[in-house]
Amino acid sequence: MLRLRKLKSEIRKDDVVKQNNASLKAGELELINAYTRRQLGEDEIYVFSVVLCDNEIDRDHERFSEASLESLAKLFTGVTGVMDHDPKSKNQTARIFFAETETVSGKLTSDGRPYVRLMARAYMPRTEKNADFIMQLESGIKKEVSVGCAVKRRICSVCGNDIGCCGHIKGKSYGGTLCYAALEEPTDAYEWSFVAVPAQKAAGVIKSYKKGEMKMDIEKRLFSGEAQSFTADEMNVLAERFRRLHEKAADGETYRRRLEADIAKTAAIALPELKRDTLDFITGKMSAVQLEELCGALSKKAAAAVPLRPQLAGAGRNEKNHIKNNDYKNI
């Protein structure tokens, strides 16, 4: 089954919700200390809330279903945050200790659904090194976030089948229904990241199939010119794509041979002085579009050279030389 890793970048004013430690909820300190090697006090940690993702149709015409958001709430609990999707340990900034979905009262998505978002609570230690970063959070400089996760299925909103197999195109409307992919059955939530701006200006979404290369999809990685390694799922995706390409190539070769045969027939009539070897050399260097153009031109020339007439067509009547039947009638 196709494994899709998806990064979702969205600019919202409330991507990071500032929270003072005075607003720590009952039991949260215990949740935080479940991830620490020693028991930390409230004065040693900085806590804030963050919106990870939601059920809105994004700029890549994809959306997390409400069920997926529920699953992601569990998967993201305990996941560390990094900077700019760089999974190096030195870029770790904060850790999520609690996540849950939240329905925003009175707000609807663009397709009329109640707006649901995935809210998380994260903490980081109050250290001299982190002081500047905390100030950037408080001042709203660090605000936008992206998430990295994996889902099993992308369901077409038009027909309910996998979006890659149904023929519908994301972003287009069919009978008044916008085609988008509903992201279903999350299997992994591997990181969330602070970013300066959304990674893709037009789409706001980055897909990839490997954690260390989140900004390139399989085909871009394949033709990047750099050494790559692929998982078994990724190899299956590539194998299916190459199978389809081979099928299309075979269809194209069949059509090309048919064009070349037609050209050879018409050229024998329209250009009888042209040798077959020369013709084959010329057509062998032509594209299918050029072959179609040549076939049409030769067909017209051949028709002019040898007008096509029905085999039993009459020779026509010449009234001047025509002898009336009356001359042979008995009187």
Across 215-237, average pLDDT: 63
What backbone torsions phi and psi does residue 316 show, to the nearest 5 degrees?
Answer: 95, 160
Token code pair at residue 325: 């039947």
Assess contact for 3 and 231: CB atoms under 8 A: yes
- Quick one: which of 102, 145, 104 has its CA closest to 122? 145
**pLDDT attached to residue 198:** 39
* Strand pairing class (205-208; 16-17): unpaired
Contacts of 170 (CB under 8 A, 6+ apart): 60, 61, 62, 163, 179, 180, 181
Contacts of 286 (CB under 8 A, 6+ apart): 294
Across 98-115, average pLDDT: 91
DSSP label at residue 243: H
Across 259-274, average pLDDT: 89
Helix (H, G, I), strand (E, B) or coil at 218: helix
Residue appearing with tokens 């020779």: 315
Assess contact for 100 and 50: CB atoms under 8 A: no
- Of 179-193, 294-308, 309-323, minimum mean pLDDT range: 309-323
Tally Cβ neighbours within 10 Å of residue 169: 13
Across 212-217, average pLDDT: 37
Helix (H, G, I), strand (E, B) or coil at 288: helix
**pLDDT attached to residue 233:** 61
The torsion angle over the Cα atoms of residues 230, 156, 202 and 229, rounded to 10 degrees, is: 0
| pLDDT tens for each residue of 132-150 | 888 888 877 777 778 888 8
| pLDDT tens for each residue of 283-297 | 988 888 898 999 988
- Of 33-47, 130-144, 247-261, minimum mean pLDDT range: 130-144
Across 47-53, average pLDDT: 87
Task: Flag whether pLDDT at 204 surpasses 50.
Answer: no
Task: Flag whether pLDDT at 113 surpasses 80.
Answer: yes
Measured distance between the N- and C-terminal CA atoms of the chain, rounded to whole angstroms: 96
pLDDT band at 213 (very low <50, low <70, confident <90, very high): very low
**pTM of full prediction above 0.75:** no
